[in-house]
Amino acid sequence: MKTTLLVITFVLLAVSLVGVFQVYRLPVETSVTEEVALLDYEHHGEFDYIVALKPSHLFGPEPPETPAATEVFKYPAAMVDRFNIAFNYRFVPERPTAAVTGQVEVRAAVRSQGSSGEEIILVPETPKTGDFTVEFTLDISDNITDDLIIIGDNISGSEIIITAYVYAVIETETGPVFENFTQSLPLRANGPLIEVDGDLTHSIAGSLGELNYEQQGGFAYEVLLTADSPFGAIILKSPAVGPSSTAPPPTAGPEDTVLLNLIDGMNVSFAYRLQSGQPLETREETVVVEAVLESPGQWTKTVDLVPLTTKTGDFTVSFPLDLEEISGLFDVIQRETGAAAQTRGLAIRARVHALASTDAGTIDSDFVHSIRMDLAADTLTWSDNLTRSEPGAITTTRVVSQPEKYLWLSVSQARIFLPVIAGVFLALLILALVWYFREDRGALSAAEREARQAHKKYKGIIVETKQLPEVKPGETVVLLNSLDDLIRTAEGLLKPVLHKAEGSRQVYCVLDASTRYEYNLS
């Protein structure tokens, strides 16, 4: 146990001293290069869409068996004094615009069989703002004959086509949009009657870049009968121009289950915004939206849905997505390549490059967001989230000083801790040595004292030897009880006392022929 303790304390002291040596060779601090974020920002993109559904028995309205015929309203030509006509125009954008201005002009083309006809101006070019209505009168002469409408002196024909021309200027965030709109109202002579088509409304959908809109027009009229008609000078009004009695087509969005066979049209939008922990000063983004057709492992085809467009700030771009046309293109490529496709992949991919100035530097980053579907599936199902965010940062590198580590301590701490530990182990080693040697001396001190005293007392008789003779066969060994008895025996025999130290055991003997007298002190 004493030896084990000595070994352990010695090893611990040696290890601690090695640690002290190593820790004083290390620097207290080291310089490292690290990347530091000056500004965190985040791209955020979101797709959204509205699907117009075909009339169906599943979602309604039920598809008509045969197209509805246009109504025709008839008035006796001989009783008509004049038509008071109003034309109204509306510009309906998908999202608000700054202003709509423009001009309107109404003309009447009077045509007869076998002649090119004449044209008269009912409303000259007139500037208008926003939604508007113009009113005018069409006088019918008294001298009306069958199959002929007489407008005035030397102006007559079998058909009068009243046409309204609108030239609109729409102010948007990206600049002005120029549009035109035309709507006609025909009046025909059919024997003694004047026939007017009952389809008095007309609309045209349009888009330019991210702006989707619809232009709507409508005619309304009053027929004033002559005072000498059997009914007197009464007024007959046209059918009210208002919402169609037919229910609007149903629509569906991302939250609905949409069957591909029932899709009549689809309008998709992509919204992008850039968020930052600091104000964004000068901003410029470029965006392109693509349709990527793919037969996995065979071919891909990319078609622009929104060509490369420059924006400033957060933006939204809208575009129509004709799945029927895209499926047709897929079929054409399949026929050209002759490769069968298990999956008819379609991806809508928006690619944005953002530039923005901040106090921390310039954000110059790309962002890509894609959604995917299978045109061979039964339902409109996107395999990716419609919304995606991607973090980014403006970073820089800098050299910093950090404490050098030794084991789990900093070098400065280790330079204090390890010498203390080494000192503790040194003290333990000293204590172990003291304990080890003190115990040994305590066990032999009595024998050693007796041996020393005997050597002093009988120094002329006791002889030190390195090796005692071995006991011979037949030799008698007599063990005595004390050294004094052995000394008296030696004096009687006139023999020396031989002495040999064997560790902690002191052996004394006297040899006399075949007899050995021996005393052991331990």
Q: Is 162 exposed, middle or buried (0-12, 13-18, 19+ CB in 10 A)?
A: buried
Tokens of 513: 């022929």
Q: Which amino acid is at 484?
A: D
Q: What is the pLDDT of residue 337?
A: 87
> Residue 371 in contact with residue 383, Cβ under 8 Å?
yes
Residue 365 has pLDDT above 90, yes or no: yes
> Residue 479 in contact with residue 520, Cβ under 8 Å?
yes
Residue 149 has pLDDT above 70, yes or no: no
Buried/exposed 3-37: b ≥16 CB within 10 Å, e otherwise: eebbeebbebbeebbebbeebeeeeeeeeeeeeee
Mean pLDDT for the stretch of residues 289-318: 92
Mean per-residue pLDDT of the chain: 84
> Residue 432 in contact with residue 6, Cβ under 8 Å?
yes
**Position of tokens 């100035």?**
357
CA distance 132 to 502: 134
> Residue 419 in contact with residue 425, Cβ under 8 Å?
no
What band does 209 get if pLDDT is binned at 50, 70 and 90?
low
Phi, psi of 141 (to 5 degrees): -70, 160
Tokens of 122: 């009912």
Residue 142 has pLDDT above 60, yes or no: no
Tokens of 444: 């032999």
CA distance 291 to 298: 17
What band does 143 get if pLDDT is binned at 50, 70 and 90?
very low
**pTM greater than 0.85 (yes/no):** no
> Residue 175 in contact with residue 168, Cβ under 8 Å?
no
CA distance 317 to 308: 11
Provide the sign of the torsion angle of the four alpha carbons 75, 77, 83, 89, taken in this order.
Answer: positive
> Residue 450 in contact with residue 20, Cβ under 8 Å?
no
Residue 484 has pLDDT above 70, yes or no: yes
Q: What is the pLDDT of residue 13?
A: 84
pLDDT, one tens digit per residue, over 4-62 is 877 888 888 888 888 888 888 888 777 778 888 889 999 999 999 989 888 888 877 77
Contacts of 417 by beta carbon, 8 Å cutoff, 6+ apart = 409
Q: Which amino acid is at 361?
A: G
What band does 379 get if pLDDT is binned at 50, 70 and 90?
very high
Q: Poorest-confidence range of 268-277, 419-428, 452-461, 477-486?
A: 452-461
What band does 442 get if pLDDT is binned at 50, 70 and 90?
very low
Mean pLDDT for the stretch of residues 318-330: 89
